[in-house]
A and B are shown apart, each in its own frame.
Chain A
Amino acid sequence: MNSFIVLMNKEFTQMVRDFKIIWLPLVFILLGITQPVMTYYLPTILEALGSGQGITIDPNIAAQQGGEILAGTLGAQFDQLGIIIIAISLMGIIQTDKANGMLAFILTRPVPVRSYVGGKIASNYIFTAFSVAVGYLASYLYVNLLFTNVAIFDMLTALLFYLVWILFIISFTTMISTLINSPGLIALISIAFLIGCRLIVGLSSMIDIINPASMSKHAMEVLITGSVNSNAIVNLVVSLLCAAIAIFITNYWISNKKFSNE
């Protein structure tokens, strides 16, 4: 337990030294603001840039609800650029330690593997969740300012659902970072798989049950309709299970020293 806290502190210190503590929340704030601001000003921009010929901007078009815009932040911004940024910022989470021998070195000390993996996942999850939440809140403020208000309870429920999906993103990227040695390949596989998961949501209700990306859809639904889908709880449990499996594989791989068998 003690080494878990030491390793977690080390991760946080590293984030501060790398300035990750500044840039990651900043990126998510920018992503969060983009959706409401772009949607709000798009008609004006189109009007100013285009000559107006052939484009009709109907002023009577149903005004978008705040909830829809906030859902758009999750679906269009965080689930695309957001995933790419998280995967890239985490691709070296274990791989760097493997490559420079620090992983083997740390494990020559009386450190249980679960403390090492736990410290990595916990610290990075806390920080990434914080960054996503900050970006989401920024988006929420802009939505309330430019569009209709979103109920605070819906906003928090959606955030909670979304952060379960983030947990899976982090566990999965950590697992790939453990199994594979090339940082580029880690990023590619993680991004392709995670965005793939997100894209197939809604194609089949069977796959949706075991797809952690469904949590993102449930978050959006809460924002748009104001009610929780009946499958959400099942999905939540399955998603947590998927994250647990990824963490377990990571732990198993390191415990059995497969990382050092070149």
Chain B
Amino acid sequence: MKLEIRNVKKTFKNKTAVDSFSMELQSGECVGLIGPNGAGKSTLIKMIADIINPDTGEILLNGKRISSIKKEIGYLPQYPNFFNWMTAKETLMFMGKLSGLSKNGLNTAIPNILKKVGLSGEEDSKVGTFSGGMKQRLGIAQTLLHKPSLIIMDEPVSALDPIGRREVLNLIQEIKKETTILLSTHILGDAQEICERFIVIKNGLKIEDTSIIELLQRNSDNKLNIEITEKDQKWIGTIEELPYVKGIEVIGNQLKVEVENLENNKNLLLGHALKHDVDIVKFEVGNDTLEDIFLKLVVEK
């Protein structure tokens, strides 16, 4: 399986939603498409799912246009609605048959899939009575039914409460062992948890395509976060003169101290603080969180 997106562009009226976007996706990968609201994530996902056509460029799966091999993709919309009057089993039966599966095959596959997504016992409940998390899990069941080689999910967890989110994230963890996944989200923690690779998109442009480890390493600068109490403010003045301190940023009682070499200097600084009898509230190595990096990428660039 190989997904290739080449120079895809899509314009709505006079707003460019996706602009010269290219990427490749290999078998077994789990890729998170992240970006702020309105960045063009959904538009891109919809183009991959062949719901809308790109203005220019092409999207190929195994060298073929998606429209000719729809069987190979499983798509989960942002808000899977289904038909409220259908039961869970009927929904899967309906979607399965549309994917070209036989009735007999479905009769054996559906209970297994429902069990996998934690909906066994609900096969005869109407979809209209389902919670958001249950609908999402049913949606995932539907994407797995025809064993596609690529699963595309549009914001699979964004609209769910913490419980629903946890259920769906665990489920995705589970299924990513068996298939290739491309999902979009604007919540970094979720992406961090399930994906190894990120593509950051902003204003329709790809601004970053990297792995999480690389991203964190690139953004680690030799900083220490220290929190002290009010009475020790004068200590700040004394450490400014230390040879290995390159810069200090003070926000209230919080300090961000940049040092020459994190490994060697952090204990020296801690020792210095203890010697001056500083009341330390917090002392930590200040890696940027993924959220900081995201904000930096999206807001500043």
Contacts and interface: CB of A to CB of B under 8 A. Distances in A.
Interface of A: 2-3, 6-7, 10, 13-14, 17-18, 100-102, 104-111, 256-257, 260-262
24 contacts: A14-B85, A17-B85, A18-B85, A100-B81, A101-B81, A102-B81, A102-B82, A104-B51, A105-B75, A105-B77, A105-B80, A105-B81, A106-B98, A108-B49, A108-B51, A108-B70, A108-B73, A109-B70, A109-B98, A110-B98, A111-B98, A256-B53, A260-B46, A261-B12
B85 A101 contact: no
A17 B84 CA distance: 11
Contact of A3 (B46, B81, B82, B97): B97
A13 B80 CA distance: 20
A256 B51 CA distance: 10
A235 to B, nearest CB: 38
A149 to B, nearest CB: 44
A6 B91 CA distance: 12
A119 to B, nearest CB: 11
Contacts of A107: 50-51
B283 interface: no
Interface of B: 12, 46, 49-53, 70-71, 73, 75, 77, 79-83, 85, 90, 94-95, 97-100
State the majority secondary structure of interface residues on A: helix
B12 A262 contact: yes
A261 B52 contact: yes
- Kindly name the residue among A2, A108, A256 whose own CB sees the greatest number of chain B CB atoms within 10 A: A108
Contacts, number: 59
- Kindly name the residue among B70, B79, B83 whose own CB sees the greatest number of chain A CB atoms within 10 A: B83
Contacts of A111: 98
Nearest to B71: A110
Contacts of B50: 107-108
Nearest to B51: A104
A6 B81 contact: no
Given A101-B79, A105-B77, A257 B51 contact: yes
- Kindly name the residue among B50, B52, B94, B98 whose own CB sees the greatest number of chain A CB atoms within 10 A: B98
Nearest to B82: A102
B80 to A, nearest CB: 7
Nearest to A108: B75
A6 B97 contact: yes
Contact of A260 (B51, B70, B95, B97): B51
B100 A110 contact: yes
A6 B98 contact: yes
A256 to B, nearest CB: 8
B120 to A, nearest CB: 23
Nearest to B102: A2
A103 to B, nearest CB: 9
B81 A109 contact: no
A260 B52 contact: yes
